[in-house]
Amino acid sequence: MSNYHIETNCIQAGYQPKNGEPRVLPIYQSTTFKYDSSEHVGKLFDLVEDGFFYTRLANPTVDCVERKIAVLEGGVGALCTSSGQAASLISILNICDSGDHFIASSTIYGGTTNLFAVTLKRMGIEVTFVNPDSSIEELQKEIRTNTKLVFAETIANPSLIVIDIAKFVTLAHSNQIPLIIDNTFATPINCRPFEFGADIIVHSTSKYMDGHAVALGGVIIDSGNFNWDNGKFPGLSTPDTSYHGMVYTRDCGRTAFITKARVQLMRDLGSTPAPNNAFLLNLGLETLHLRMERHCSNAQKIAEFLEKNDKIAWVNYPGLKNNKYYELSQKYLPNGSCGVISYGVKGGREAAVKFMDSLKLAAIVVHVADTRTCVLHPASTTHRQLTDQQLLDAGISSDLIRMSIGIEHIDDIIADIEQALEQI
């Protein structure tokens, strides 16, 4: 499948039915799988034979979707999770132990910021948030002997800051640690971070990948390129006593990371996606390439429309030529960035609320990246846990309106915005 274009792989990768089998990926709604002998089941547990034994670890429907996503990102393997949060958590716990430290861009999603700053801290794992625009020399100062990874978002939610992936790759690799990229907003249609040297990718599939706002989910993809056997990652390069002495780097080769994530952490944490949700995710993936094109072209037109409107204080979209991140977006996202834009309405918070309440087509929703246009005021909703300083660090001003542009007809979306602006 890897020889096909990404559009073809969105549709066909991961599941190729044999003679007489269902044309469409079936939902294997079964927790368990039957075998004729105990010996066979033993071999499955030892990972010497391929097969399914319990849906917490692997399920045929989920497996096909994982294979598809691995192809789309160009990785050696993928692990689907019950949410994007679970994917971020597992990607970190698979590398860091209590006492370890890592670096994360300060502009990452609010939920991830909480997970890293609060919950991981309680588990003894410490994070340092860095300004993604810092120079490599400044970033290097934050690296400690126990720093185990660097984490950043391709396009930050909701500040839309585009990171210089190559700079973060250099930072990580010159310290023999991996770079994890949250590629949720860009999707593999618009950016494939492995092509720029990233080592691990995570997604909230709840966003564009599902694309219809019907199923929460996450995924971790392994590039297979990082050398875990450099002395810094004993969890991957020394025997796992909880999995009868398996040494992931020795026994799994290029799939060491993703195998450990599955057989150790998914086994223990159990944040498994339901087969039915994997089926829905697969349906979403089949049109991902078409939807991303329209999300991006609609968002570009609306950003340009808002820029010219005198009731608008500012517009932030990486596709605008005067945007601070235009150059980076041309380098990493030449076909378009995402369908999310942010802007401020003149008159501050009060005008913003009046404007949002006057929208008819666009709904106020705590979600982004599905087919329907929606709006949100992050400072009073998704990011309300953050302090004012954290908000600023995350690139969010108190008047910021986040609008996720859907794939409705562009004229209808613009007409809706126009009539709502007239109310203020």
Ligand X SMILES: *Cc1c(COP(=O)(O)O)cnc(C)c1O
Smallest gap from residue 99 Cβ to ligand X (A) = 25
85 forms part of the interface with ligand X (CB under 6 A): yes
239 forms part of the interface with ligand X (CB under 6 A): no
Which residue lies nearer to ligand X by CB, 236 or 391? 391
List 92, 216, 220, 236, residue binding ligand X (CB under 6 A): 216
List 153, 164, 370, 399, residue binding ligand X (CB under 6 A): 153
d(CA 370, CA 339): 9
Alpha helices by DSSP H, listed for 56-104, are 60-73, 84-93
Residue of minimal Cβ distance to ligand X: 84
111 forms part of the interface with ligand X (CB under 6 A): yes
List 184, 190, 223, 371, residue binding ligand X (CB under 6 A): 184
Q: Which of 152, 149, 148, 178 is nearest to 165 (CA)?
A: 152
List 9, 113, 187, 206, residue binding ligand X (CB under 6 A): 206
d(CA 118, CA 410): 41
208 forms part of the interface with ligand X (CB under 6 A): no
Q: Which of 194, 132, 126 is nearest to 160 (CA)?
A: 132
Which residue lies nearer to ligand X by CB, 109 or 355? 109
Rg of the chain, C-alpha, whole Å: 22
Q: What is the DSSP letter of 254?
A: G
d(CA 249, CA 241): 15
d(CA 249, CA 229): 7
Which residue lies nearer to ligand X by CB, 116 or 185? 185
CB 416 within 8 Å of CB 359 = yes
298 forms part of the interface with ligand X (CB under 6 A): no
Q: Segment near ligand X (CB under 6 A), from 35-43, 78-86, 125-133, 388-396? A: 78-86
Q: Segment near ligand X (CB under 6 A), from 19-27, 83-91, 130-138, 317-325? A: 83-91
At residue 412, what is the residue type?
D
List 61, 112, 371, 404, residue binding ligand X (CB under 6 A): 112
Q: Segment near ligand X (CB under 6 A), from 31-39, 202-210, 228-236, 274-282? A: 202-210
Dihedrals phi, psi of 94, to nearest 5 degrees: -70, -15
Distance of CA 199 to CAs 127, 254, 279, Å?
Answer: 19, 11, 27
The single residue listed with the structure tokens 């697969």 is 282
Full strand arrangement of the beta sheet holding 312-316: 312-316, 340-345, 400-404, 374-376, 363-364
Smallest gap from residue 156 Cβ to ligand X (A) = 8
| Extended strands (E) in 131-246 | 147-153, 179-182, 200-204, 218-222
Smallest gap from residue 75 Cβ to ligand X (A) = 18
Q: What is the DSSP letter of 407?
A: S
Q: Segment near ligand X (CB under 6 A), from 104-112, 186-194, 265-273, 334-342? A: 104-112
For 126, other C-beta atoms within 10 Å of its C-beta total 18
For 4, other C-beta atoms within 10 Å of its C-beta total 13
Q: Which of 263, 265, 226, 230 is nearest to 88 (CA)?
A: 265
187 forms part of the interface with ligand X (CB under 6 A): no
Smallest gap from residue 35 Cβ to ligand X (A) = 34
Smallest gap from residue 189 Cβ to ligand X (A) = 16
211 forms part of the interface with ligand X (CB under 6 A): no
d(CA 201, CA 199): 7
Which residue lies nearer to ligand X by CB, 345 or 374? 374
List 15, 28, 102, 109, residue binding ligand X (CB under 6 A): 109
Residues 119-148 that bind ligand X (CB under 6 A): none
Q: Segment near ligand X (CB under 6 A), from 139-147, 203-211, 220-228, 343-351? A: 203-211
List 218, 275, 318, 339, residue binding ligand X (CB under 6 A): 218
Which residue lies nearer to ligand X by CB, 185 or 257? 185
Enclosing H/E stretch for 363: strand 363-364
Site size for ligand X (CB under 6 A): 16
151 forms part of the interface with ligand X (CB under 6 A): no
Smallest gap from residue 82 Cβ to ligand X (A) = 8
d(CA 54, CA 290): 35
Smallest gap from residue 160 Cβ to ligand X (A) = 11
The single residue listed with the structure tokens 């990486």 is 318
Contacts with ligand X by CB under 6 A lie at 83-85, 109, 111-112, 153, 157, 182, 184-185, 204, 206-207, 216, 218
